[in-house]
Amino acid sequence: MISSILNIEKGKAVIPKLRFPQFENFWKEAKLGELGSFKGGGTPSTSNENYWKGSIPWISSSDILDNDLHNINIYRFITDVALNESAVKIIPRKSILLVSRVGVGKIAINEFPLCTSQDFSNFTPFNDESYYIGYYLMAKKNILLNFSQGTSIKGFTTSDLKTVIINIPSLLEQQKIASFLSAVDEKIQQLSRKKELLEEYKKGVMQQLFSGKLRFKDENGEDYPDWEEKKFGDIYTFYTTNSLSRENLNYDYGIVRNIHYGDIHTKFKTLFDINKELVPFINSSFDISKIKDECYCQEGDLVIADASEDYADIGKSIEIVNLQGEKIVGGLHTYLARPNKKKMHIGFSGYIVRSPDFRKQIMTIAQGSKVLSISTGRIGMVKMKIPVEAEQEKITIFLSTIDVKIENLIQQINKTQNFKKGLLQQMFI
């Protein structure tokens, strides 16, 4: 159990705000350069194939994650020849791998010897606990970022790192702190893995459902009728949206809310519920009387992003499932599509437009080089197989149940990450 105590300073002797109760001694200050040694890294020539067919692990800054000491993505291996003929060095196990250039401030700890690129300043402690120092530097990341230099590529040097002040408890207390924080990280990893598995399961189930390989039965155990093939334009009618940029929106006040295409790409869920989303208002300087009644979103409508820089997001859509009486319109680079030619169960449209077959067709019709776009005419020609409404309902309930489980895991991950953040702030001086 951890106890909270007052922060006390006595010259260079200090103790933290949050501490395991069995420890009472003051912590001592030391410069990082006094606690271990540094080794840099390098990158063997990528044009020499003989350098990259070995068994010595080699990583770049992109192979480690921010705020994660434990996981390193290792998939490249170099030879002894590369080691002898380039600037790369073997970094001993339990070293602190500090990204000092591209991705500045990321930290990891290796459980076995490896090599790194020149973007690392690697620190190997003499006697102290690697994970304690790693977590300490994670908690004090701003110190590292303040060293950042340069214009095109920012970073810090080994000389900078040697001056960083570290507050050091006994080795036993270091190990206790590191073990506790590692357990929190393990919990985050477990939750993240559960989320990934559930997302993979959902992806597989959607493939099965929308290809017709997995079907529901009716209440009598009988098969539902065969799905009917339709074109998007046979079901949906397009309505006018606006082209207001972010400068015309605010999150403080207004009468009409506006769905920006960037929010569809980055944060809005498949099934859009106004109670669960943060949506900006249109500024009062815009005359909302120009908006026709039919152009306000209705429950069951799709809002489609018509532009993207990559195929994964082009034509990404959300379905409006709950408006709670709010006035909302589609904004910049969006299409508003309403299923007023055929009755669709609320929620089903949102899932079918994210099905593998529908997405494949959308990516096929996308046009552009740097920025991709799609037209209403082309979307209208996309083919869809539609079940009867009763089967639509069962598919919607099934998939939305999975989404709720995924969202619960996301909340647990965020809660645990915030808990860890609080610990880092209070357990280190």
Q: Domain map of the chain by residue range?
A: 26-168, 228-386
Element (H, E) at 36: strand 36-39
CA–CA separation, 226 and 222 (whole Å): 12
Classify 256 as helix, strand or coil: strand
What integer pLDDT is reported at residue 160 of this predicted model?
87
Matching fold, domains 26-168 and 228-386: yes
pTM of this structure: 0.85
CATH fold label, 26-168: Adenine-n6-DNA-methyltransferase TaqI; Chain A, domain 2 (3.90.220)
Q: Per the CATH hierarchy, to which homologous superfamily does domain 228-386 belong?
A: DNA methylase specificity domains (3.90.220.20)
CA–CA separation, 141 and 424 (whole Å): 11
Q: What are phi and psi of 58, to 5 degrees?
A: -135, 135
What integer pLDDT is reported at residue 230 of this predicted model?
96
What integer pLDDT is reported at residue 341 of this predicted model?
92
Question: Within the chain, which residues score under 50 in pLDDT?
Answer: 1, 3-11
Angle ∠(103,109,113) on CA atoms, nearest 5: 110
What integer pLDDT is reported at residue 149 of this predicted model?
60
- Helices of type H across 147-230: 158-162, 171-210
Q: Please check whether residue 62 is in contact with residue 119, taking contact to mean a CB–CB distance below 8 angstroms.
A: no
What integer pLDDT is reported at residue 150 of this predicted model?
55
Q: Please check whether residue 41 is in contact with residue 116, taking contact to mean a CB–CB distance below 8 angstroms.
A: yes
Closest CA to 353 of 391, 313, 405, 316: 316
What integer pLDDT is reported at residue 155 of this predicted model?
74
Q: Please check whether residue 211 is in contact with residue 357, taking contact to mean a CB–CB distance below 8 angstroms.
A: yes
Q: Please check whether residue 236 is in contact with residue 337, taking contact to mean a CB–CB distance below 8 angstroms.
A: yes
CA–CA separation, 105 and 100 (whole Å): 6
